Structure 1
């Protein structure tokens, strides 16, 4: 027994610590390499299965399967699936496109007929997502002649491509609109990046670890206890679509105003909506999104109306420190260059910002009165443009509230 123990100790003494460390590191690298290889194989296989043309994309989305963060988040694919069931699509002549701030717009509730809302959440995840939303809206409603396009500071991005794995399916649509980028800043570098993503097998080896893109998918819990998010659901089974009409408008109205006791407290610098503003000003002149939107309108004979929804006064203070003035100046330049109106409601003198009762949080007018004011303000601003040629129409919330009581009476009680 003692000799056995002695021999074991002798063997252990001959194995130096550095050899153990080297072997451990080699094993870890081998595992990481194997996982990286499997990830790249999975990515290539997934890419092959994705739509390779815009026609395929539109045909596939109404019966697509969605996973993870896509579930419960209104994306372009959701809108395509939703609009495919719209009756009387030919009668729709105007539309709205924007972020979750614009999903609150309810044209039918406030007396505006023949309109569709193509807003959603994917704007923040893929370059020119806003423009892709507009293109999807145009495809679904071929007689659209006017589109209101949200132009918030939030949508400013550097001149490089943003495309997460679950948005690769939109690349055919992105490729279709890219010619509108010709002559704009970062045009050539954007094209090169797009080409590299579109044809991953054609060139030199990509040393960037692909494993990092899928780290949330590689959790052990995903396989031990699979969930709806990991297994996926049919896009039409997503509960969020049940809350929308086939033209994208929310079916239910929210409460009239937010009582003082329910209003969120003043935000601080660590708020996520403040963090999203970081480096916005430093990345100017951004990616040319709004020039491309204006060119898109010209190309399809669609009247574009830009608008910036208001945010609460506390968030506005942080926007001022992160490039808001530069953003507004550029939007005014776009308005004059292309003859498209820009309705800027994100100004203290227009009496939206300080009335926190209109907001459901720091930047959403998800109250009945707030939604109504936003919806009607766009109509009022557009009339100023058509009647008097105002490229920068001014819409005061207090005057609108007093003058449109007929349309806002739906919010009483």
Structure 2
């Protein structure tokens, strides 16, 4: 009986101690969360507001701003503004290219296409309509812009809501100038929610109930503690700008083709580029990016040309698996609705994706011949549209290569 009483009391005592330990742990976790949240909000409240009150103020300020963190060495909107501000004769520019890193590899001047700028970069996944902001910056910097080639890769599909990283909040005034395009065409899927959310945001929105830590989570990574990780430099001092011409082209020349021994191996389902495709169709009908481009072009008298660059055949198989057809069908709808050309080079029968020597990796044509073929195919597609009003010109590789042999000869073997 004594033993039972002792054991019962011991068990009760153990449970009590465990309960107190759990409660104490929970209290410490909540306390730590609150302290970190308060610290983040206090730090943000001390910062000078990065968001300008108007787009014109923002455009004037960007070339003199400082950058840090992920903005260092990545071609964001701020680098494009700083770069184009140095262009010697803005009035001569008549055409431009916007897109992701798949479009940064274009060299129009090398292949005999004058008066063109390349404003592609890494902003498309940092802020909703980032690609359209690339184009709007080019329109503001180059008053005689007449044509914009818009990369329309499957990867560019985004949900119909505002998505913005902390260091891209400063671009909200520029984003808000696009609001009238949405109000004039309420049938653009997703755009209303984007601008409602954009209108309610400020750079130092530290009074809401949503955790601020979530927006600053990248700053709590181990890499942010390393020496130099928090360094801030003027955007004009970014070494990236030294690698680019004033029109946005990469300096120097790519190798002609990729040798077989240097080709990336065939990707598998766990490859990061395959993983990025998995949830795209679940976000449909997306944010209406390409409808917005068509309306933007109509508003400013600029011809918009949609194009889908080819990817390697192994990555293409995953695009098909994860909903490429739905993406292409929507682009065909946009092309027909607004009567703008769509040059789709991401098709097996055209002869690009099966030749892996054209690609530097699974989806970048960063070889001289690959970049040249992409550029010349877009030129041929526009010519077909202007001559025959062909909204979806089919540009096969073999005839194009034959017609452009002399221009491609600049690629040194």
**TM-score, with normalisation over the residues of structure 1?**
0.91
**Matches of 2:321 and 2:17 in 1, distance apart?**
58
Q: Which runs of 5+ in 2 are unaligned?
A: 1-13
**Matches of 1:221 and 1:70 in 2, distance apart?**
15
**Matches of 2:29 and 2:267 in 1, distance apart?**
44
**Matches of 1:404 and 1:171 in 2, distance apart?**
43
User: In structure 2, what is the equivalent of residue 382 of structure 1?
Assistant: 382
User: In structure 2, what is the equivalent of residue 260 of structure 1?
Assistant: 260
SS of the residue 1:241 aligns to: helix
Contact 1:181 / 1:288 at 8 angstroms: preserved in 2?
Answer: no
Q: 1:187 and 1:115, CA in 2 relative to 1: closer, same or farther beyond 3 A? A: closer
1:269-284 equivalences in 2 (<5 Å): 269-284=269-284
Q: Shift in Å at residue 60 of structure 1?
A: 1.5
User: In structure 2, what is the equivalent of residue 169 of structure 1?
Assistant: 170
User: In structure 2, what is the equivalent of residue 351 of structure 1?
Assistant: 351
**Matches of 2:279 and 2:93 in 1, distance apart?**
39
Q: Which moved more, 1:39-48 or 1:257-266?
A: 39-48
Contact 1:47 / 1:168 at 8 angstroms: preserved in 2?
Answer: no
User: In structure 2, what is the equivalent of residue 209 of structure 1?
Assistant: 211
SS of the residue 2:307 aligns to: strand
User: In structure 2, what is the equivalent of residue 323 of structure 1?
Assistant: 323
SS of the residue 1:233 aligns to: strand
1:22-33 equivalences in 2 (<5 Å): 22-33=23-34
SS of the residue 2:195 aligns to: helix
Q: Shift in Å at residue 278 of structure 1?
A: 1.4
Q: Does 1:186 align with 2:190?
A: yes
Q: Shift in Å at residue 21 of structure 1?
A: 4.5
Deviations 1:49-69 (A, max 9, x none): 432221121112111111111
**TM-score, with normalisation over the residues of structure 2?**
0.91
Which structure 1 residue ranges, 4+ long, deviate > 6 Å from structure 2?
A: none
Q: Shift in Å at residue 266 of structure 1?
A: 0.6
**Matches of 1:174 and 1:383 in 2, distance apart?**
32
1:287-326 equivalences in 2 (<5 Å): 287-326=287-326
Contact 2:290 / 2:334 at 8 angstroms: preserved in 1?
Answer: yes
Q: 1:369 and 1:188, CA in 2 relative to 1: closer, same or farther beyond 3 A? A: closer
**Matches of 1:82 and 1:360 in 2, distance apart?**
26
User: In structure 2, what is the equivalent of residue 96 of structure 1?
Assistant: 97
Deviations 1:289-330 (A, max 9, x none): 000000000000001111000000001101011121111111
Pairwise CA RMSD of aligned residues? 2.1
Q: Shift in Å at residue 196 of structure 1?
A: 2.9
Q: 1:141 and 1:221, CA in 2 relative to 1: closer, same or farther beyond 3 A? A: closer
1:6-21 equivalences in 2 (<5 Å): 16=17, 18-21=19-22
**Matches of 2:45 and 2:345 in 1, distance apart?**
45
User: In structure 1, what is the equivalent of residue 59 of structure 2?
Assistant: 58
Q: Shift in Å at residue 346 of structure 1?
A: 0.3
SS of the residue 2:33 aligns to: helix
**Matches of 1:113 and 1:191 in 2, distance apart?**
36
SS of the residue 1:360 aligns to: coil
Q: Shift in Å at residue 212 of structure 1?
A: 2.5
**Matches of 1:293 and 1:110 in 2, distance apart?**
26
Q: Does 1:72 align with 2:73?
A: yes
Q: Shift in Å at residue 219 of structure 1?
A: 5.0
User: In structure 2, what is the equivalent of residue 109 of structure 1?
Assistant: 110
SS of the residue 2:374 aligns to: helix
Q: Shift in Å at residue 255 of structure 1?
A: 0.5
**Matches of 2:361 and 2:351 in 1, distance apart?**
17
Contact 1:217 / 1:230 at 8 angstroms: preserved in 2?
Answer: no
Q: Which moved more, 1:374-383 or 1:188-197?
A: 188-197
User: In structure 2, what is the equivalent of residue 196 of structure 1?
Assistant: 200
Kindly tell me the number of residue pairs found equivalent between the two proteins. 397
User: In structure 1, what is the equivalent of residue 234 of structure 2?
Assistant: 234
User: In structure 2, what is the equivalent of residue 249 of structure 1?
Assistant: 249
User: In structure 2, what is the equivalent of residue 36 of structure 1?
Assistant: 37
Contact 1:291 / 1:334 at 8 angstroms: preserved in 2?
Answer: yes
User: In structure 1, what is the equivalent of residue 11 of structure 2?
Assistant: none
Q: Which runs of 5+ in 1 are unaligned?
A: 1-12
Deviations 1:314-356 (A, max 9, x none): 0110101112111111111111111110000000010000000
Q: Shift in Å at residue 404 of structure 1?
A: 0.6
**Matches of 1:287 and 1:259 in 2, distance apart?**
40
**Matches of 1:123 and 1:139 in 2, distance apart?**
19
Q: Shift in Å at residue 46 of structure 1?
A: 4.0
**Matches of 1:366 and 1:278 in 2, distance apart?**
25
SS of the residue 2:410 aligns to: helix
1:110-125 equivalences in 2 (<5 Å): 110-125=111-126
Q: 1:272 and 1:222, CA in 2 relative to 1: closer, same or farther beyond 3 A? A: closer
